[in-house]
Amino acid sequence: MPIRREHRHFYPIDWPQLSATIRFRRAGGACEGCGRPHGRMVYHLGDGRWWDAASGCWRDGTGSALKVLPRLEELVHVRSTKVVLATAHRDHDTANNADKNLAAFCQRCHMNHDRPEHRRRRWLTLFRRKGLGDLFQGPYRDT
C-alpha cells in the first residue's frame, strides 16, 4: 500500500529497501498471513478461501488446505485479484522497525490486521469533529 504524503515523515528514509527485504527475502514473495503469492492473479470466493494454483488445492484465510471443497453454488461467485504484498507494522508503530514487528501481508491480510486500528482512528476523527462542532457551532441537536 502506498504511504500517504502526510505520513511519509513517520517512516525511515530506507523504508523501500527495508520493505523489499521483508517481503521478498524473509517472506519469499508470499503473504505471511495466508500464503498468497506476490504478483499473481488469485481466484477467491471473497470470504478468505482462495485457489492455490501452485499446489492445486483450495486454501482458507490462514493458508491451510481446505478439508471440504467449496460447493458448486459457491464457485459461481469466484472472483480474481492480483496479489500485492505490503510490509505492515504488527503494533501499528511506524517508529518500531524491528524485524519481528514487520510482516509481509497481502491486501486482504493487511486490511484484516489494520481493521481495529482503522476503527479506533475513525472514532477519534468523528469525536474530534463533534468536539469542534460543539465548540464553534453550539451543541448538536437531535435530528
What is the domain partition of the chain in residue ranges?
5-110
Backbone angles phi and psi of 96, in degrees to 5: -95, 95
Q: Is the pLDDT of residue 14 over 80?
A: yes
pTM: 0.80
Would you state the pLDDT for residue 25? 97
Contact 88, 113 (CB under 8 A): yes
Burial class (CB in 10 A: 0-12, 13-18, 19+), 134: exposed
Q: Is the pLDDT of residue 143 over 70?
A: no
Would you state the pLDDT for residue 108? 95
pLDDT in tens, 48-100: 999 999 999 999 999 999 999 999 988 988 999 999 999 999 999 988 999 99
Q: Given pLDDT bands bounded at 50, 70 and 90, which one contains residue 118?
A: confident
Neighbours of 20 (CB within 10 A): 13
Would you state the pLDDT for residue 66? 94
Helical (H) or strand (E) element with 136: helix 107-137
Would you state the pLDDT for residue 64? 94
